[in-house]
Structure 1
């Protein structure tokens, strides 16, 4: 999916529906919920996640199209990096961006079926708690039961696709050059 064409101004009903969809998707986005719950953005982590949602809604509704996938994914990545000092390398940013572009297109056509599906697939609790529950259930069959329960706040990478907070910037070498790692893999290949 390359772009959402924008198709003109969005109705108040469609804007409200898109805002609801963003909130529903954010509630299911494990990486973002983990960043909020663990306060990677400080005490105001919840407000920063809400601001990300507002920025996305504004990007769709207040800017002229076409709306390109790359632009949305880059904006989300930059804001997450800045707000939470983290990189989500699990491709969840791209997945969420792609889904939001689809939902935006549907909203422009007064089609709210994807949002209805999100509403009806209500998640019990939040995504982080659900992942912890799955991790705990998986460990029930092993002898490491107690250590998993003691270390509940740090599930293994197989249960959560959340990356570590971003490391500090690399220092320049003796010649004054700094090696800069690539931003992220796979984006330019769409």
Structure 2
């Protein structure tokens, strides 16, 4: 995906401040980044490294004239995450965050701060990491509740009540005409 935004004109000081706030709001809601910070994947200064990542993303827009390409921003973010946290976020979130930041930048160039206002006004997730842990805890509680409800053992378990993880195919299966679809590699990560 090589979407680009226009490089015409720079950001006004007000727009740059709004973009900085928007980047901070997006990063605060980015579960993978918040997990890296909370679990100190980058060492004791993981919070400072996350702040530096945000500053580098802002600098991407403020120090060059553009045009700004999605692939360049995503690659810069992947490289910084790898360097700062010794991790690769393979959940697709880096691309999603890069796309959202590019959209915010384009809006800021037009003095349109609607997406930043929306982020500001929506109830911020108090902590994305604790929310994801809460789901795991809730599942554990549900299963123990289910077992205490069915202690008599007389009723067979209903399929609706059971939670079973679906098996994941280890290899791509050939389609009807015999061709096998191979999933794409993560693009833009090759080092020359």
TM, length-normalised to structure 1: 0.75
> 2:187 is matched with which residue?
187
- 1:65 counterpart residue number: 66
**Any idea what SS the aligned residue of 2:131 has?**
helix
Instruction: Quote the residue 2:36 is aligned against.
Output: 35
Name the Cα RMSD after superposition.
1.9
The gaps in structure 1 that reach 5 residues or longer are 146-157, 159-183
What per-residue deviation string (whole Å, max 9, x for no partner) do you get for residues 105-131 of structure 1? 000000000001111112241111111
Which residues of structure 2 form unaligned runs of 5+? 147-164, 166-183
- Cα deviation digits, residues 135-159 of structure 1 (max 9, x gap): 22233211399xxxxxxxxxxxx9x
More off after superposition, 6-15 vs 81-90: 6-15
- The Cα shift of 1:63 comes to 0.8
1:1-190 alignment runs, 5 A limit: 2-143=3-144, 185-187=185-187
Residues 125 and 94 from structure 1, CA distance in 2 versus in 1: closer, same or farther, beyond 3 angstroms?
same
Q: State the alpha-carbon separation in 1 of the partners of residues 114 and 53 from structure 2.
A: 24
Residues of 2 paired with 1:124 and 1:2: CA distance?
29
* Number of corresponding residues: 151
Q: Quick one: structure 1 residues 144 and 97, their matched pair in 2 at CA, closer, same or farther if it must change by over 3 Å? A: farther
Q: Is the 8 A contact 1:6 1:105 kept in 2?
A: no
Question: d(CA) in 1 for partners of 2:85 and 2:70?
Answer: 22
| Structure possessing the higher radius of gyration over alpha carbons | 2
Does the CA contact (< 8 Å) of 1:41 and 1:83 recur in 2?
yes
Shift in Å, 1:100? 0.4
The 1:7/1:138 distance shift into structure 2, 3 A limit, reads farther
Deviations 1:12-44 (A, max 9, x none): 010000000110011100000000001010011
- Counterpart CA distance in 2 for 1:68 and 1:50 is 22
Question: Post-superposition shift, 1:61?
Answer: 1.4
Residues 52, 79 of structure 1: 8 Å contact kept: yes
CA distance in 2, matches of 1:23, 1:96: 11
Closer/same/farther in 2, CA of residues 140 and 80 from structure 1, 3 Å limit = same
CA distance in 1, matches of 2:185, 2:121: 34
- Counterparts of 2:46 and 2:128 in 1: how far apart (Å)? 16
